[in-house]
Amino acid sequence: MTDLDDIMLNFSPASLTLLNAILAIVMFSVALDLKGDDFKRLMRTPKPVVTGLISQFVVLPVLTFLLVLVVQPRASIALGLILVAACPGGNISNFISHRAGGNAALSVSMTGFATVGAILLTPLNIAFWGNLYEPSRAILQATAIDPWQIALTVTLMLILPLILGVLLNRNKPALADRIRRPLQNLSMLIFVAFIVLALAANWGFFLGYAHYVALLVVLHNALALAGGYGTATLAGLSPFDRRAVTIETGIQNSGLGLVLIFGFFGGLGGMAVVAAFWGIWHAISGLVLAKVMSRSEAAR
């Protein structure tokens, strides 16, 4: 069997462009829930969102690196875990936070702030932690990725739609209210369909190599959720805010991860399998956790 670190997945430039567009629409639909006042309010009481950002961009990468050191996975798998951990929170975190009885407004705002922070922090975390693990360092050196190009990709795919969504919500609130829910549902449906089709095009590969990453991704996701919960608890956040921080840390933007993997790493097999499996598993674990959290809230 071909070495996982050497396999490149079947993913055309046109498919990558389509994925960029889909994620931009998803981000735009999320931004329709944001108002300028949300950012001002959080600036006045920044503790919950600052805690969430620390959990997202500091605690999770550290836990990921410790996991890599303990398990010593193949280079491409390790770099896939590091890259996913470097991404901002996923868009479905807002929906899951609401289902969990958490602070959905905080979750949406954290997604916005983390997306802005990802311009600098995502390439910085990939480069820093990836270079600390010797096998993945070799991939980074061979790839010679440009942090500025990653920042530009994040800006065009996430930041611009975020700004446009906030502006539409401010200037045309009635229109934003009318299209918000249908656009969110449609964009997520299209995104899921795209991932299913991409998996189908590489199905034999995923069946052959999924066992390398399945348990590792489940463990990584559990660490992310635990890290979010622990950070929020140490910060003294209320249960309402703690749920949002926990879920925001455990739900990663694996779609952005796939864009970066195919755009900058040529669809490197181990990285792509990690990001794709993350995209499936974090939705399952998040919904299960939301059910448990909502029941504990109802029991109070």
Q: Which residues contact 58 (CB under 8 A, 6 or more apart)?
A: none
The pair of structure tokens assigned to 190 is: 């299209």
Mean pLDDT is lowest, of 112-116, 128-132, 200-204, 239-243, for 200-204
pLDDT > 70: percent of the chain = 84
Give the pLDDT of residue 71: 93
What is the average per-residue pLDDT within 227-247?
94
Find, among 95, 150, 145, 99, the residue nearest to 122 by Cα.
150
What is the average per-residue pLDDT within 52-76?
94
- As a residue count, the chain comes to 300
Give the pLDDT of residue 241: 92
| pLDDT, greater one: 7 or 186 | 186
* Tens digits of residue pLDDT in 5-48: 555 555 555 666 777 777 788 778 777 777 767 667 767 778 99
Give the pLDDT of residue 174: 86
Task: Give me the half-sphere count of Cα atoms (radius 13 Å) on the Cβ side of residue 239.
Answer: 8
Mean pLDDT is lowest, of 61-75, 108-122, 203-217, for 203-217
- Give the architecture (CATH level 2) of 4-298: Up-down Bundle (1.20)
What is the average per-residue pLDDT within 165-186?
83
Residue-range domain boundaries for the chain = 4-298
pLDDT > 90: percent of the chain = 26
Find, among 268, 242, 218, the residue nearest to 80 by Cα.
268
Beta carbons within 10 angstroms of residue 228's beta carbon: 27
Find, among 276, 249, 248, 273, the residue nearest to 192 by Cα.
276
| pLDDT, greater one: 121 or 279 | 121
Please give the full DSSP string across the chain, using - where no structure is assigned.
---GGG-B----HHHHHHHHHHHHHHHHHHHTT--HHHHHHHHHS-HHHHHHHHIIIIIHHHHHHHHHHHH---HHHHHHHHHHHHS-B-THHHHHHHHTTS-HHHHHHHHHHHHHHHHHHHHHHHHHHHHHSHHHHHHHHHH---HHHHHHHHIIIIIHHHHHHHHHHHH-HHHHHHHHHHHHHHHHHHHHHHHHHHHHHTHHHHHHHHHHHHHHHHHHHHHHHHHHHHHHHHTT--HHHHHHHHHHHHSB-HHHHHHHHHHHSTTBHHHHHHHHHHHHHHHHHHHHHHHHHHHHHHT-
- In this prediction the pTM is 0.82
Q: Which residues contact 135 (CB under 8 A, 6 or more apart)?
A: 74, 75, 78
* Tens digits of residue pLDDT in 127-139: 899 999 999 888 8
Bridge partner list, 141: none
Give the pLDDT of residue 12: 57
| pLDDT, greater one: 252 or 297 | 252
Distances (CA, A) of 186 to 27, 97, 168, 190, 193: 12, 20, 18, 6, 11
The pair of structure tokens assigned to 252 is: 């990663």
| Amino acid sitting at position 274 | V
Is the model's pLDDT at 188 over the cut of 80? no
Mean pLDDT is lowest, of 21-25, 77-81, 272-276, for 21-25
Q: Which of the four pLDDT bands, split at 50, 70 and 90, describes residue 299?
A: very low
